[in-house]
Amino acid sequence: MDGPRGAVAFRADERGVVLAGRRKAELCAPWGSIAEIVLFHQAAGAVGMPYVGLRLVPGAPPVPAGLDRDGGMWRTNRGPFPHVPQDVLAYSRPVSGWRLDEEKLARIIAVHAPHVRIVRLAGGRTGPVRGRPAGEGFLARQRRLLIKADFRRNESVALGHGNNSLDNYLSGGPASRFFNRMWNLVVASTGLAFLTALVIIVTDNSPSAWWTIPFNLAMCYFAGYHFAGWRCMRRHRNVAR
């Protein structure tokens, strides 16, 4: 991923990870030294700056260009990150002027470093950040979403309603989360009407109404998707930002 003026801000390939930042030296770590790639936000301010950091394997050689924990820069940078472990903050860079493609990163890790986890740090706790499984087919994805209500990363939990990713839901406060859950539940409830219409059309065996079957099936899918999104959001309703 390129940063401002075309400079490489983040690179993950078969060799490992390269992190760079403004006024900070390039940080290079081989896959064998990395245990986790950690995503977190700066705690200060209304909108926190996103960061990406590395947690090294215990006993791994120090990676050059980490922050000196005995220096003044470390004390200056430590304040806005009370929820971030020191070993992660020491090997971190801000995501500024560029966007981290987490789905692509997950695919690269699956190929070159399956032992490495991507985790999101929030509220002093870590949790897995799972991307869409590599090679997942259409039917497998529908089964995961509609039956298991297992939405991943930036997958939309509601159709046609702004930025609907699970990440966006988790970034909201209690009122915002409640509104999003209620929106999904209201939309999902309309599925009962379309399902009833389908049953009536089939049982009456009325050829003149068969043309409405595709529309009713589509609306039942639309409602079922929103119900699955509501289940997923309800499951995550108390997860910290």
Segment 126-176, tens digit of pLDDT: 444 456 666 778 898 899 899 988 887 668 888 765 457 777 777 777 888
| CA nearest neighbour of 36 among 135, 116, 125 | 116
Find residue 41's DSSP bridge partners. Answer: 50
Structural domain of 156: 138-235
Residues 116 and 148 in one domain: no
Q: How far is CA 95 from CA 20, 42, 172, in A?
A: 10, 11, 20
Domain count, the chain: 2
Instruction: For 12-30, write each residue's pLDDT tens digit.
Output: 999 999 887 655 567 889 9
pLDDT at 3 (0 to 100) = 44
Q: In terms of domains, do 10 and 122 share one?
A: yes
Alpha helices in the chain (DSSP H): 72-78, 86-89, 102-112, 138-142, 166-170, 174-204, 213-235
Any domain includes 63: yes
Contact 212, 160 (CB under 8 A): no
Shared-domain flag, residues 75 and 146: no
Do 197 and 149 share a structural domain?
A: yes
Do 9 and 114 reside in the same domain of the chain? yes
Predicted confidence (pLDDT) per residue in 203-227, tens digit: 776 666 667 778 778 888 888 899 9
Structural domain includes residue 241? no
Per-residue pLDDT tens over the stretch 42-98:
754 444 578 888 999 988 887 775 554 444 444 455 556 777 887 888 888 888 778
- Distance CA(183)–CA(149), nearest Å, equals 16
pLDDT of residue 175: 85
